[in-house]
């Protein structure tokens, strides 16, 4: 349903069932989605020369000994303005110390509307407090 | 469509037709919804020992001599961080004096997308201005 | 699907295919939509004595030598509180100098969820920073 | 130091020493200040036909069986857009249930810079989230 | 009092007495200030090759047939992220239609604390809603 | 000038001259200030059993092989709501990837008014977007 050039979201999640639901909700909302199931795979996509993501959605506890905290940090090193939405069950309490500025935390289990709204908000261009 | 542990919204509305539309829009968005048609009924649910609501949506003019202003105030006494969305036709102008801090006002008749977005925004964890 | 008195959005777009998609997404979300394909047509609707729009969505590059910047400026002269959502491909970089305060910029091609969320956010009553 | 037409703040406080410090900090910042030591006195000033306050600063526990919650609620009935800054020691925890939308809570003892910044922020015209 | 490399504010005002007060308040707060008394003079400074302003403060009704609206628009064409604070007596009502996104409006006569706080807020780096 | 129980700010800075200016500006604004010149010293103060800080201001490049990023992360582990203001010259560009959510970045050399306003904003209680 998403147009060819629609905004592209990178979705990182190691539970296939959760990933599938999330991806299909975002696609129904008109986003294109690239997915990764490991932190290493996500970082590889972020480091691809022509990468052009509109937002990053990342689970915290990824299978491969890596975490969404690391993925987001690397993403922001490469793209300082990239909107970040974290998704987690057990690690939400760590967000205040490990999240990046301006990010959003979605606690699992979440409603799909929350995901779509979080990504939509994050990708709208609005002036920050300083102009 | 909502998962078993999806965020639970308490929806207080005394017009069955409006309640039904609102509940089904929220459920379609993936929220679970508990409903009440009177202020007394809503407060009873809020005071239940294990109550764990993610947000309160409340109409203002409830049938039983009570009002949504009272429901929200009681809710915030019990749960100071509970997100509140008011819904009203004739009483929206009272929000500036009777609403609680950080609440949102939806004027009837509203678009269902406004309801779903208002509840989704309210339940995303984001830093406030002070950190 | 929108109720008779649902919030009315004025949607200004000269590409019929884009307009049709946008209008139907907003209507599915429960908004009523009035549309215009030229700046002059939009301004005529805004100047109609009983005009009561809940929000303005406007493309920037309109066919008739007019632009969305002008439409929004005229709209705000008439209705200083009217929420404004700009939509553009090539002109998004001009928003910082030509947009009105508190507006939002949607870059084409956008996801329909972004449009619906932008309009929903814009039409919720929330206190600004000053009260 | 305040100019003749500088923004006028209504400051309600029943402890003379606190009032004096607060008033002089605001005046040094260039505001004019009208003061009241009771809720009744404050409401009388708010109801004066030509009242034109730029902001309300109110203590919560006022001597005359009234509270700052009531003062602010009455103020907002009369002036829905009036910025409100509450000041309190023991009652700050009630703000979530008894404060008005868009208000700010200053916990006693506060730094005078917090008071001046809170009032300055509240009186700057900025677009709210909806435009 | 401002350090040699302190943030530099461009202050545009054609009333010498107002300019002097504003400049000295900002300097006392630690900002460096460059001033202009006409729109043309301000734009000349903005277009200077090495111009590096931290914020623009501009009166609306400038003597030379130009206006602060034009100065800010030109400033944002050159520096899309430049924080803008407008200052005006009679023209504040035009801000909603003629101001730039993310700007702030200070109504004359203002308190000097409002000016210093407005410029300080505008020059702090904080994440916008989108990250 | 600060009262005995005024809000206490922890200020971490290894350049004595900068520390002295910052501390005295905050004290003039009515804050109490505890200072540390190393990351280790700051973390020791944060871990003190009765620590009760209203805000953390921290330089990034600290002498002892530690950084303000680490100090703030540890502070947020202990106090998830603690407001954080970073101060830096050369490391400001790392804030998007290494800062904590809801923090503010002050670029050196800063104006003292920016510091006082940043700390004042951060310590005012205001509702976040979700209530």
- What number of residues does chain B have? 131
In this complex, do C113 and A31 lie within 8 Å of one another by their Cβ atoms? Answer: yes
Residues on chain D touching B60 (C-beta within 8 angstroms) = none
Buried b vs exposed e over C82-98: b needs ≥16 C-beta within 10 Å?
A: bbbbbbbeebbebbbbb
pLDDT tens digit sequence for F73-126? 999 999 999 999 999 988 889 999 999 999 999 999 999 999 999 999 999 876
Asked if residue D2 belongs to a domain, the reply is no
Instruction: Answer yes or no: is pLDDT of E2 > 60.
Output: no
The CB-side HSE value for D62 (13 A sphere, CA atoms) comes to 27
Instruction: Pick out chain C residues at pLDDT < 50.
Output: 1, 128-131
- Smallest CA–CA distance, residue C63 to chain A, in Å, is 23
Residues on chain A touching B123 (C-beta within 8 angstroms) = 111, 114
Average pLDDT value over all residues in chain F: 92
Backbone φ and ψ of F91, nearest 5°: -105, 10
Interface test with B, best of D81, D100, D102, D121 (most B CBs within 10 A): D100
Average pLDDT value over all residues in chain A: 92
Instruction: Answer yes or no: is pLDDT of E125 > 90.
Output: no
Tell me: cis bond preceding B109? Omega within 30 of 0 counts. yes
Give the residue from chain B lying closest to D74, CA to CA.
B97
- pLDDT (0 to 100) of residue B63: 82
For CA atoms A53, E78, A100, B82, the dihedral sign is negative
Residues on chain B touching F128 (C-beta within 8 angstroms) = 102, 126-129
Asked if residue C129 belongs to a domain, the reply is no
Asked if residue C22 belongs to a domain, the reply is yes
Residues on chain A touching F98 (C-beta within 8 angstroms) = 73, 100
- Smallest CA–CA distance, residue D70 to chain B, in Å, is 10
Residues on chain C touching E93 (C-beta within 8 angstroms) = 80
- CA distance linking residue A56 with residue A42, whole number of Å: 10
Give the residue from chain A lying closest to E72, CA to CA.
A131
CA proximity to A71, closest of A108, A46, A96, A103: A46
What mean pLDDT comes out for the span F34-39? 97
Number of structural domains (chain E) is: 1
CA proximity to E53, closest of E8, E115, E118, E104: E8
Instruction: Write the secondary structure of chain F as one string of H (helix), E (strand) and C (coil).
Output: CCCCCCCEEEEECCCHHHHHHHHHHHHHCCCEEEEECCHHHHHHHHHCCCCCCCEEEEECECCCCCEHHHHHHHHHHHCCCCCEEEEECCCHHHHHHHCCCCCEEEECCCCHHHHHHHHHHHCCECCCCCC
Report the Cα F60 to chain-centroid distance in Å. Answer: 10
Give the residue from chain A lying closest to E121, CA to CA.
A130
pLDDT tens digit sequence for E55-109? 999 999 998 889 999 999 999 999 999 999 999 988 889 999 999 999 999 999 9
Of A104, A107, A113, Cβ closest to residue B30: A113
Give the residue from chain F lying closest to D108, CA to CA.
F6
pLDDT tens digit sequence for E17-62? 999 999 999 999 999 999 999 999 999 999 999 989 999 999 999 9
- CA distance linking residue C32 with residue E114, whole number of Å: 41
Asked if residue C131 belongs to a domain, the reply is no
Report the Cα B116 to chain-centroid distance in Å. Answer: 11
Rounded alpha-carbon distances, angstroms, from residue E83 to E9, E99, E114:
10, 12, 15
What mean pLDDT comes out for the span F15-24? 96
- Smallest CA–CA distance, residue A22 to chain C, in Å, is 14
**F105 lies within 8 A of chain E by CB:** yes
Of E95, E96, E101, Cβ closest to residue C96: E101
- pLDDT (0 to 100) of residue A92: 86
Interface test with C, best of A27, A30, A57, A81 (most C CBs within 10 A): A30
Residues on chain E touching F105 (C-beta within 8 angstroms) = 124-126
Determine contact, residues E76/E84, Cβ cutoff 8 Å. yes
In this complex, do D130 and C125 lie within 8 Å of one another by their Cβ atoms? Answer: yes
Residues on chain C touching A126 (C-beta within 8 angstroms) = 104-105
Residues on chain F touching D92 (C-beta within 8 angstroms) = 125
Domain that holds residue D83: 8-124
Rounded alpha-carbon distances, angstroms, from residue F31 to B12, F3, F9, F85:
44, 8, 7, 15
Alpha helices in chain B (DSSP H): 16-28, 39-47, 68-78, 95-98, 112-122
Determine contact, residues D74/D58, Cβ cutoff 8 Å. no
Instruction: Answer yes or no: is pLDDT of D129 > 70.
Output: no
CA proximity to E21, closest of D3, D126, F116, D114: D3
- Smallest CA–CA distance, residue A122 to chain C, in Å, is 9
Determine contact, residues A91/A72, Cβ cutoff 8 Å. no
Subunits in contact with chain D (3 or more CB pairs closer than 8 Å): B, C, E, F
| Pair of tokens at residue D35 | 């003061």
**B48 lies within 8 A of chain A by CB:** no
Asked if residue A109 belongs to a domain, the reply is yes
- pLDDT (0 to 100) of residue D125: 72
Residues on chain D touching B74 (C-beta within 8 angstroms) = 97
Average pLDDT value over all residues in chain D: 92
What single DSSP character describes residue A106? E
**D111 lies within 8 A of chain F by CB:** yes
- pLDDT (0 to 100) of residue A77: 97
In this complex, do D29 and E111 lie within 8 Å of one another by their Cβ atoms? Answer: yes
Q: For residue C85, what is the domain's CATH number? A: 3.40.50.2300
pLDDT tens digit sequence for D48-93? 999 899 999 999 999 888 999 999 999 999 999 999 999 998 888 9
Helix axis angle for A68-78 and A39-47, nearest 10°, is 10
- pLDDT (0 to 100) of residue C3: 67
pLDDT range class, residue B83, cuts 50, 70, 90: very high
Backbone φ and ψ of A8, nearest 5°: -105, 125
**F122 lies within 8 A of chain E by CB:** no
Tell me: cis bond preceding C109? Omega within 30 of 0 counts. yes
What single DSSP character describes residue D93? G
pLDDT range class, residue B131, cuts 50, 70, 90: very low
Asked if residue B42 belongs to a domain, the reply is yes
What mean pLDDT comes out for the span E3-16? 92
**D117 lies within 8 A of chain F by CB:** yes
Quote ipTM for the complex. 0.92
**F100 lies within 8 A of chain A by CB:** yes
Give the residue from chain C lying closest to E85, CA to CA.
C101
* Angle at CA of residue F13, ends F10 and F19, nearest 5°: 85
**B113 lies within 8 A of chain C by CB:** yes
What single DSSP character describes residue D125? B
Q: Please tell me the least confidently modeled range out of B63-72, D1-10, D67-76, E115-124.
A: D1-10
Strand F8-12: give its sheet, edge to edge. F32-36, F8-12, F55-59, F84-88, F104-107
Asked if residue A3 belongs to a domain, the reply is no
Determine contact, residues B71/B12, Cβ cutoff 8 Å. yes
Asked if residue B2 belongs to a domain, the reply is no
What single DSSP character describes residue D70? H
């Amino acid at each position: 349903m998403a147009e060819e050039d629609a905004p592209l979201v990178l979705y990182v999640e190691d539970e296939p069932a959760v990933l599938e639901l999330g991806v299909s909700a975002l696609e129904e909302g008109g986003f294109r989605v690239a997915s990764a199931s490991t932190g290493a795979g996500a970082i590889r996509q972020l480091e691809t020369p022509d990468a052009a993501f509109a937002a990053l959605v990342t689970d915290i506890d990824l299978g491969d000994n890596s975490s969404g905290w690391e993925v987001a940090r690397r993403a922001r090193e490469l793209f300082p303005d990239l909107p970040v939405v974290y998704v987690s069950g057990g690690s939400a309490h760590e967000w205040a110390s490990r999240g990046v500025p301006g990010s959003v935390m979605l606690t699992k289990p979440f409603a799909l509307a929350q995901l779509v709204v979080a990504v939509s908000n994050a990708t709208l261009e609005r002036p920050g407090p300083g102009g």
